[in-house]
A and B are shown apart, each in its own frame.
Chain A
Amino acid sequence: MLKDYFKLSFRSAKHRKIRSFLTMIGIFIGIAAVVGLISLSQGLKTAVSEQFSNLGSDKVIVQAAGGGFGPPGAAVTLPITLKDKEAVAKVSGVDIAVGRLIRTVKIEFNDEQKFNFAVTIPKDKEERDLVMQVNDYKLESGKFFDSNSKGEVVVGSDFAKDYFEVPLEIRDRITIQDKEFKISGILKKSGNPQKDSTMVISESDLRDLLDIRDIYDIVPAQIKEGEDLALVSQSIKKALRKSRDVEEGKENFIVETPEQVLETLNIILVIIQGVLVGIAGISLVVGGIGIMNTMYTAVVQRTKEIGIMKSLGAKDKDILILFIIESGFLGFFGGLIGVILGFSFAKLVELVAFQLFGSFLIKANFSPLLMIGSLTFAFVVGTISGILPAMQAAKLKPIDALKK
Chain B
Amino acid sequence: MIKDYFTISYKEIRRKKLRSWLTLIGIIIGISAVISLILLGSGLKNAIESQAQGLGSDKLLITAKGNPLTPGLSTDAVKITTKDQDVVDRVSGVKKTSTFSFTTAQIDFNDNVRYFPIFGSPTDPEERKLIGESQNYDIGQGRSFNKGEKFKAVLGFSHLDKNLFGKAAQLGDSILVNGHKFKVIGFMEKIGSPPDDQSVTIPLEIYSDIFETGDERGMIIAQVGAGEDATKIGQDVKKALRKHRNQKEGKEDFNVQTPEDLLGTFNIILDMVQAVLIGIAGISLVVGGVGIMNTMYTSVLERTKQVGIIKSLGAKNSQVLALFIVESGFYGLGGGIVGIIVGVAIAKFVELVFKLAVGPAFLLIKIDPLLLIGALTFSFVIGTLSGIAPAYQASKMKPVDSLRYE
User: A residues engaging B (CB < 8 A)?
Assistant: 18-19, 22-23, 25-26, 29-30, 33, 37, 65-70, 74-78, 103-106, 108, 113, 115, 177, 210-212, 249-250, 252, 275-276, 279-280, 282-283, 285-287, 289-290, 292-294, 296-297
Contacts and interface: CB of A to CB of B under 8 A. Distances in A.
A286 B22 contact: no
A78 B178 contact: yes
B73 interface: yes
Given A22-B293, A289-B25, A70 B67 contact: yes
Nearest to A21: B294
A69 B283 contact: no
Contacts of B77: 103-106, 115, 177, 210
A75 B115 CA distance: 11
A297 B288 contact: no
A18 B297 contact: yes
Given A115-B66, A279-B33, A22 B297 contact: yes
Contacts of A70: 67, 69-70, 73
A301 to B, nearest CB: 8
* In the complex, the 9 A-B pairs of residues with the closest C-beta atoms, listed nearest first: A66-B115, A283-B284, A210-B76, A293-B22, A22-B294, A115-B66, A286-B287, A283-B283, A282-B284
A105 B117 CA distance: 24
Interface in B250-288: 250-251, 253, 277, 280-281, 283-284, 286-288
Given A70-B67, A77-B178, A290 B290 contact: yes
Given A177-B77, A282-B284, A293-B19, A66 B106 contact: yes
B76 A104 contact: yes
A75 B70 contact: yes
Contacts of A26: 26, 287, 290-291
15 contacts: A22-B297, A37-B280, A66-B106, A74-B67, A74-B69, A74-B70, A76-B104, A113-B251, A250-B108, A276-B280, A283-B284, A286-B29, A286-B284, A290-B22, A293-B294
Contacts of A212: 76
A77 B115 CA distance: 9
B328 interface: no
B78 interface: yes
Contacts of B287: 25-26, 29-30, 283, 286-287, 290
B1 interface: no
B19 A68 contact: no
Contacts of B103: 68, 75, 77
A338 to B, nearest CB: 11
Contacts of A275: 277
A68 B70 contact: yes
A69 B70 contact: yes
Given A19-B298, A67-B104, A250-B113, A285 B29 contact: yes
Contacts of A19: 294, 297-298
Interface string B225-269: 000000000000000000000000011010000000000000000
A283 B286 contact: yes
Given A33-B280, A279-B277, A282-B33, A292 B22 contact: yes
Nearest to A68: B104
Interface centre among B19, B23, B117 (most CB of A within 10 A): B19
Interface residues of B, number: 48
Nearest to B32: A282
B18 interface: yes
A210 B22 CA distance: 67
A10 to B, nearest CB: 19
Given A103-B75, A210-B77, A279-B37, 19 more contacts: A29-B287, A29-B290, A65-B115, A68-B73, A68-B103, A68-B104, A77-B103, A77-B115, A78-B106, A103-B77, A113-B250, A113-B251, A113-B253, A275-B277, A282-B33, A282-B281, A282-B284, A283-B284, A293-B295
A229 B354 CA distance: 42
Contacts of A25: 287, 290
B162 to A, nearest CB: 19
A108 B65 CA distance: 14
B105 interface: yes
B75 A293 contact: no
B23 A293 contact: yes
A290 B297 contact: no
Contacts of A75: 70, 73, 103-104
B336 interface: no
Contacts of B283: 29-30, 33, 280, 283
B399 to A, nearest CB: 22
Q: Which of B30, B103, B294 has the most CB of A within 10 A?
A: B294
A182 B349 CA distance: 59
A22 B178 contact: no
A282 B281 CA distance: 7
Nearest to A285: B29
A76 to B, nearest CB: 7
Contacts of A18: 297
Nearest to B247: A113
A29 to B, nearest CB: 5
Nearest to B111: A250
A179 to B, nearest CB: 12
Nearest to B33: A282
B281 A289 contact: no
Given A75-B104, A283-B284, A293-B19, A103 B291 contact: no
Contacts of B117: 68
A77 B291 CA distance: 59
Nearest to B75: A104
B19 A23 contact: no
A70 B72 CA distance: 13
Contacts of A113: 250-251, 253
B115 A115 contact: no
A66 B284 contact: no
Contacts of B37: 279
B391 to A, nearest CB: 14
A134 to B, nearest CB: 24
Nearest to A282: B284
Nearest to A37: B280
A41 to B, nearest CB: 12
A25 B103 CA distance: 54
A349 to B, nearest CB: 12
Contacts of B29: 282, 285-286, 289
A296 B294 contact: no
B22 A296 contact: yes
Interface string B27-41: 001100100010000
A129 B78 CA distance: 32
Contacts of A115: 65-68, 77, 253
B30 A286 contact: yes
A289 B115 contact: no
A208 to B, nearest CB: 12
